Structure 1
Amino acid sequence: MERIINALLSIIAVVILFGAVNVSTVGAAEPAYGLPTTVNPAASYLFFHHNYYVETKGADGDCKYYDILKAFTAKGYTVISEIRPKDVSVIEYGKKAAADVRKLLDAGVSPEKIRVAGHSKGGVIVLQVAAQLDNPKISYAILAGCGIKGLAKGYPDLGKLKGNFLSLYAASDKVAASCGPEFLQTREGFTGKEIALDNPTGHQLFFTPVAAWLEPISGWLKQGK
């Protein structure tokens, strides 16, 4: 009887151990992408603002949010990003996002080392951040973030923005469009470049970190223009 009990206890211990290992493997958390507790002024920082899809359906759907963040991390950036509350105002969230950028500036990070990028609704938030900061030395990338009818009231005056701007969108996109002629007019404190990508996937082009958009944005961000 004692042998049977000991054998049963051994089996139970193995099952518990296997279960613990399995849970720790399957439930492994993604890396944290919050504001760093210790700011390195020499590092290059990239704030990324996701689209409405992630805002409403989370990071585990068709839009590979964490894969995108990891792709930017692999390019050498300290990536800062978070999943927004559902249906948050682009104007109000833009104020919060701009305050996060100011924290880096106040910690001694030069504006040339800060990039802010976003897709779709995240791109509109990027424009709001630029309007709040009014800093000509920060670089901003708008990924299919202009011309979205449902967010028309969330756009700042593009003619008054300052900074270095890149707009990327798929020519086949039925949701977003060009940022317009004002975006391409170089003026004091502002430079703008726009590329319409020949790609059939439309607005969902930016759902995954594919070379079609990752290469042009990476090259542009590296140059800072």
Structure 2
Amino acid sequence: MKISVVMGILFCSTMFGCGRQSDERFIFFLHNRFLEEHELNESHPEFGRTEYNEILEEFEKSGFKVISEKRNGNVNAREYAITVVSQIDSLISIGTEPEKITIVGTSKGGYIAQYVSTLANNPELNFVFVASFNNSDLDNLPAINYCGRILTIFEKTDPFGVSAVERKERSTCIISHFKEVELNTGLGHGFLFQPLKDWIEPTIQWAHGNYELN
């Protein structure tokens, strides 16, 4: 298991200076459900292996400090989100500006990220929700309330390939930036198993504060 920055030790350390602002930008990456229930080298029967380490490396190559772990078992999305919010709060408490923190989630990880958005309730944080919205969520997950600078990425051939505009419009928090990117890779839900430029590049731009997306 690769953990770029170990979850749970984001306090005063040689890596994170205490009480001072830093130019470093952080990405919290939350992976999909399949990897949660399988080993790193196992392949999905349709989509292949989740290229988790390769995805983290793409973010690291772009200069981000990446905070991630391989979840194990069928974790509760909201409960897991609480632990992520705690890590975010720790970063902010030692001087990291919230606009330099981006929470990226794919599939189930995207749902965890949506709960992070709801619970953190911080309009300055950045979020990227990848393949993690279905119209039925409005009724089935009424507690989710988008808050922050929100980018959603979805694939035209994916059952979760729909706009989340209605969720955004039902949310009560300030959303100063909201953008959606619709892909057409033909890979269905499998597009997020790989570090495809189609979704990695807009994610990186968003995390760098480019809210217009080139």
TM-score (norm 1): 0.77
Where does structure 2 lack aligned partners over 5 or more consecutive residues? Answer: 43-48
Q: What's the offset of the Cα at 1:218? A: 1.6
Q: What's the offset of the Cα at 1:220? A: 2.3
Where does structure 1 lack aligned partners over 5 or more consecutive residues? Answer: 1-28
- Structure 2 CA distance for aligned equivalents of residues 196 and 208 of structure 1: 17
- Structure 2 CA distance for aligned equivalents of residues 152 and 59 of structure 1: 33
- Structure 1 CA distance for aligned equivalents of residues 92 and 81 of structure 2: 17
Q: What's the offset of the Cα at 1:112? A: 1.1
1:150 and 1:112, CA in 2 relative to 1: closer, same or farther beyond 3 A? closer
| Counterpart in the other structure of 1:60 | 41
**With CA pairs under 8 Å and 6+ residues apart, which has the higher RCO, 1 or 2?**
2
Contact 1:124 1:154 (C-alpha < 8 Å) held by counterparts: no
- Structure 1 CA distance for aligned equivalents of residues 39 and 139 of structure 2: 24
| Counterpart in the other structure of 2:104 | 117
| Counterpart in the other structure of 2:46 | none
- Structure 2 CA distance for aligned equivalents of residues 106 and 212 of structure 1: 34
Q: What's the offset of the Cα at 1:84? A: 1.4
Contact 2:114 2:144 (C-alpha < 8 Å) held by counterparts: no
The CA deviation string for residues 82-112 of structure 1, in whole angstroms up to 9 with x for no partner, is 1113111111111111111111011111101
Aligned partner of 1:189 among 164, 168, 174: 174
1:39 and 1:152, CA in 2 relative to 1: closer, same or farther beyond 3 A? farther
> Hey, which of these two has a bigger chunk of helix by percent?
1
Q: What's the offset of the Cα at 1:178? A: 2.4
| Counterpart in the other structure of 2:205 | 219
SS of corresponding position for 2:208 = helix
Q: Please provide the CA RMSD for this pair.
A: 2.5
Q: What's the offset of the Cα at 1:174? A: 2.1
Contact 1:59 1:65 (C-alpha < 8 Å) held by counterparts: yes
Are 2:149 and 1:164 equivalent residues in the alignment? yes
% same residue: 26
TM-score (norm 2): 0.81
Q: What's the offset of the Cα at 1:60? A: 2.1
SS of corresponding position for 1:223 = coil
